[in-house]
Amino acid sequence: MGSRRALVVLLLLVVSLAPLALPPFFLQLLTEIAIVGLFATAFNLLMGFGGMVSFGHAAYFALGAYAPALLVRDAGVPMLLALPAAPMVAAAGALVFGFFIVRLTHTYFAMLSLAFAQIVFTVIFKWKSLTGGDDGLLDVWPPAYLKSPIAYYYFTLAMVGLSLLALHAIVDSPFGYMLKAARENPRRARSIGINVRRHQLLAFGISGAFSGLAGGLFAFYNGSVFPDFAYFTKSFEPLVVALLGGVQSFLGPLAGAFAFKVLEWLISRQWPVYWPLFLGATVVAVVVLLPQGFVGLFGRRVWMRYPSRS
Amino acid sequence: MDFITNVFPWITNGPLITVQVMSGLSVAMLLFLVSVGMSLIFGVIRIVNLAHGSFYMVGAYLMVTIVEALPDRPWAFWVALLVAPLGVAVLGGIIEMGLLRLIYRRDPLMQLILTFGLILVIGTLVLLAWGPDNKSVSRPDALAGSVAIFGQPFPAYYLLVLGLAPLVAVALWLIFYRTRWGMLIRAATVDREMLGALGVNVAALYTQVFVFGSWLAGLGGALAAPTVAVALGMDGDVLTTAFVVVVIGGLGSFAGTFISALLVGLLQSFGILIFPAISIVLLFALMAVVLVVRPWGLLGRPEE
């Protein structure tokens, strides 16, 4: 525990002093890493701790991006007041969809979450009068005092840092332990009086809320939002990031986000066409070459039982 | 009644409805070819093959290349229709033997993630091989024009689709229910461990099924190529629709896939008339309802 605390302190020192040494471009890269890291950590609350793999988290990222963008653009709300709409709208969406999704398990859970995300994508894509459809929403910039890369970097850092603290407290709380119990053995958890479905739904809502905040932060970083944010390829981003960094640990997805974004930058700078090829090949290689697969990550018993029934 | 005819002026237009039904059925038949392969692979191997849409796309692109390679030959189209799906079947075989076989004992989610990785790999390779521009395949001369159905023009090529796909469906039914190989496949969907214990080479069966499913996806892509723009995004589009078809019908169910393809094809065809803006939402809403009420689909089996 001591070494882990030292690691966190070191990480905090590095990221807060980074602007002294790095040019704006790298600050933007770090900003993106922080946002993707938050998205993947929120996703991993479900996958790593709850044993629920969502294939539709892009929906909550997109809801969180569009909600404050619309408020700022069309209703003239200041950004700092509009941003809280990101987690709120995303959480509302996650709770409504999650109500149905947590009724299912495993493959069917993943598929229904994907179906809802496609609905969100299609609505955004088709509802041109509100969302601009394919053209997206442009000119979604933060106010002048946050517009410089360094200011927005610190702002993102603060928001992501606070969110990670909150998520860590949730994972470490009795609620977090009940979630893990429900993952390890749902039947036994039920028999000692845990309402498994309600805990899973709540986790889904929390995960959606923080995914939405990541979406909102990205909207103002990017200056525009597009329907792609809800497309199914976006849903795999937190999955790949969490997979790269390690699903079993709380900070794994953050490390994964760092690796993911740095690789993306290195490769797409040289050969932009090859980036998806590289990403896909990496995913395939991780899956094939990781001899333990998810077994060590999810808790042996549950996942040993699963393949044998099929 | 006046209200209905005001909102939907086409409702009394019999010929238009007929043509709309026929084009809906054509879409349904193409969807069936793609979906039944996906459903078959899931039924036997228990993998939701997310790269299935990519196989379909490769089938369409191979069609483009083969037809272009044989200019001014009226039979080029038919040769391509035969060869392109075989090319996709070979691709499927390579993927099954080189990658999927290594991870059958793992968590099913790992298999899903692997096939997702394949979407990215195949998509980029297609981009590198064929370039970013949309391609098109011209219809064979005999089917290039349109025919009149009750005075309404209807593309003649769709008649080929309407004729060929049911033939494939009947052939599939005969294979599944009247051959030993089909019996093994059906046995594998019920209990593959028992099948292995009875001395059947299940590993070889998996390869055969995956190759066959890939061939069906390639056939769907090859047959659809003259009706659409052959473009890079078609893998994702067809994947999501085929996915809806398979889920509604019941993963691994042959008859369910057929019925659900008809439902989805007609829903798309009429959804465009009734709710032009949200016809695709209807599709996913239908799927969500089915998943909530009967998670295993119309004719599938429950999970445990």
Closest partner residue to B112 among A110, A112, A282, by Cβ? A110
B49 assigned to some structural domain: yes
Token digits of residue B38: 């996906």
User: Which of A101, A129, A283 is most worth mutating to test chain B (most B CB atoms within 10 A of its CB)?
Assistant: A283
Read off the pLDDT of residues B36-88 as tens digits, 9 standing for 90 and up.
999 999 888 888 898 999 999 999 999 999 999 988 788 889 999 999 999 99
B272 assigned to some structural domain: no
B23 assigned to some structural domain: no
Please report, as a single letter, which amino acid is at residue B277: A
Count of CA atoms in the C-beta half-sphere (13 A) of B153: 4
Query: What is the complex's ipTM, to 2 decimals?
Result: 0.82
Residues 6+ apart with CB under 8 A from A41: A163, A164, A167, A210, A250, A253, A254
Q: Which residues of B touch A243 (CB under 8 A)?
A: 113
CA distance B216 to A38: 41
**Which residues 248-277 of B are in CB contact (within 8 Å) with A?**
277
B67 assigned to some structural domain: yes
Number of domains in chain A: 1
CA distance A124 to A145: 30
* Contact yes or no for B114 and A309 at CB 8 A: no
Predicted model pTM: 0.84
**Cβ(A103)–Cβ(A197) below 8 Å:** yes
Secondary structure class of B148 (helix, strand, coil): strand
B138 assigned to some structural domain: yes
B164 touches chain A (CB under 8 A): no
Please report, as a single letter, which amino acid is at residue B175: I
**B303: nearest Cα among A101, A106, A190:** A106
Number of domains in chain B: 1
* Contact yes or no for A307 and B127 at CB 8 A: no
A13 assigned to some structural domain: no
Instruction: Look up residue B138 and give its DSSP letter.
Output: P
A56 assigned to some structural domain: yes
Can you give the pLDDT of all 304 residues of chain B as single tens digits? Answer: 566 676 666 666 777 788 888 888 998 999 999 999 999 998 888 888 989 999 999 999 999 999 999 887 888 899 999 999 999 999 999 999 999 998 888 777 788 888 988 998 999 999 999 999 999 888 888 888 888 888 778 888 999 999 988 899 999 999 989 999 999 988 888 888 899 899 999 999 999 999 999 999 999 999 999 988 899 888 888 888 888 898 899 877 888 999 999 999 888 888 777 776 666 677 878 887 887 788 788 887 775 4
B270 assigned to some structural domain: no
Q: Which residues of A touch B114 (CB under 8 A)?
A: 283-284, 287-288
A8 assigned to some structural domain: no
A15 assigned to some structural domain: no
* Contact yes or no for B277 and A126 at CB 8 A: yes
Domain enclosing residue B122, as ranges: 28-232
Q: What is the number of CB-based contacts under 8 A between chain A and chain B?
A: 134
Can you give the CATH number for the domain in which A132 is found? 1.10.3470
A14 assigned to some structural domain: no
* Contact yes or no for A284 and B118 at CB 8 A: yes
- Measure A139 CA to nearest chain B CA, in Å: 26
Domain enclosing residue A298, as ranges: 24-309
